[in-house]
Amino acid sequence: MHTGRRVWVAAAFILTFAATSQAQHPRAESDANTQACASDPSGIPVTVAALPAVSLFEFAEADAESAAATTIFLSVLSNSGNWVTVQPESKVQYEVWGILGDDANEGLALIGFDLVFTGGPLEQADTPTGEPDDGCENPMIHFTKPWGITNPAGFGGTPIRGALIQVGGGQNTINNSPDNAAFPIGPVLIGVAQPGGCGPALLVKGELSAPAMRGLYTLRAENVFANVIREGEIGVPFWHTQAATVGTVTSLQIWVGAPPLRFLSRVE
């Protein structure tokens, strides 16, 4: 990538991002072959699924350079597992964890996805809080305004037709300062979601309401995309990034009421 093009695109992105449309982009069909995942987030499987990466931010495509791709794996959990049994109309806490498939990078630069719940509409997910000085203990603060950059509605996604669109954000890999724009202005944290760095990353957490009707429901992540910081980068003058491919994305299954015995025998 030519440096001049990077500077132009990055500047245009910062100046125009707040005015971009919040209209929902087409969501890919759910992967019917999603596999069960170990309850420990560090056990996110490393089997690659054919899920296409889609662009959330213009920055994701403009800043990413072509190179050997690293793979990102996601798992939607509740109580540290991919399935949970709850009572009708109860509150369910969920988390989305991510891990990169190798260390041939310097960790996540940008991550985004949609969240869809088959049991009803979702409220906006939580926005990370704190200061960008906790390192691996609080990595996603670096992806949140003003330290990072998100869609106009914020890190927790835009509620559209019951789904959460464009959850996530990106780090300040362009080394922007407040003299140029109000965000992103934070330092870059290397090693996010990198197996040999910070390890599995808690990307986002939130709460949903179980429906009144008993049965099986699914909370899934769709349209996942990510950029990673290129291996060997030191941030001068920018942190060069490259697009990651998307591996297995494991959904959360939620039983409202008592699940049938055949389901229990399958997940044990």
Per-residue pLDDT tens over the stretch 61-111: 444 454 558 999 999 999 999 999 999 999 999 999 999 999 999 999 999
Residue that wins the pLDDT comparison between 232 and 12: 232
Per-residue pLDDT tens over the stretch 192-228: 999 999 999 999 999 999 999 999 999 999 999 999 9
The rounded distance, in Å, linking the Cα atoms of 181 and 148 is: 12
The rounded distance, in Å, linking the Cα atoms of 45 and 33 is: 13
The residue-averaged pLDDT of 251-260 equals 90
Q: What was the pLDDT predicted at 5?
A: 29
Nearest to 14 by CA among 190, 188, 146: 146
Residue 262 lies in a domain: no
Q: What was the pLDDT predicted at 258?
A: 81
The rounded distance, in Å, linking the Cα atoms of 34 and 251 is: 7
Please name every residue paired with 220 in a beta bridge, in sequence order, or none if there are none.
116
The radius of gyration of the chain's CA atoms, rounded to the nearest angstrom, is 18
Residue 109 lies in a domain: yes
Q: What was the pLDDT predicted at 9?
A: 30
Give φ, ψ of 11 to 5 degrees. Answer: -65, -45
Q: What was the pLDDT predicted at 251?
A: 98
Mean per-residue pLDDT of the chain: 80
Tell me the residue range of the domain where 9 lies: 3-20+48-257
Per-residue pLDDT tens over the stretch 143-161: 999 999 999 999 999 999 9
Q: What was the pLDDT predicted at 69?
A: 84
Residue 30 lies in a domain: no
Residue 87 is part of a domain; what is its CATH number?
Answer: 2.60.40.680
Residue 234 lies in a domain: yes
Residue 126 lies in a domain: yes
Token output for 67? 């190179």
Residue 224 lies in a domain: yes
Task: State the Cα torsion 242-243-246-251 to the nearest 10°.
Answer: 100
Give φ, ψ of 174 to 5 degrees. Answer: -90, 0
SS3 assignment, position 26: coil
* Element spanning 219, H or E: strand 215-229
How many structural domains does the chain have?
1
Q: What was the pLDDT predicted at 68?
A: 59
Please name every residue paired with 227 in a beta bridge, in sequence order, or none if there are none.
110, 243
pLDDT of 55 higher than 70: no
Per-residue pLDDT tens over the stretch 6-47: 322 333 333 323 323 333 333 333 333 333 333 333 343 322
Q: What was the pLDDT predicted at 259?
A: 74
SS3 assignment, position 145: coil
Q: What was the pLDDT predicted at 20?
A: 31
Give φ, ψ of 9 to 5 degrees. Answer: -65, -45
Token output for 42? 């560090």
Give φ, ψ of 164 to 5 degrees. Answer: -105, 115
Token output for 30? 């759910």
pLDDT band, very low/low/confident/very high, at 267 (cuts 50, 70, 90):
low
Residue 263 lies in a domain: no
- Amino acid letter at 154? G
pLDDT of 54 higher than 70: no
The residue-averaged pLDDT of 236-241 equals 96
Residue 203 lies in a domain: yes
SS3 assignment, position 16: helix
pTM of the model: 0.76
Q: What was the pLDDT predicted at 262?
A: 62
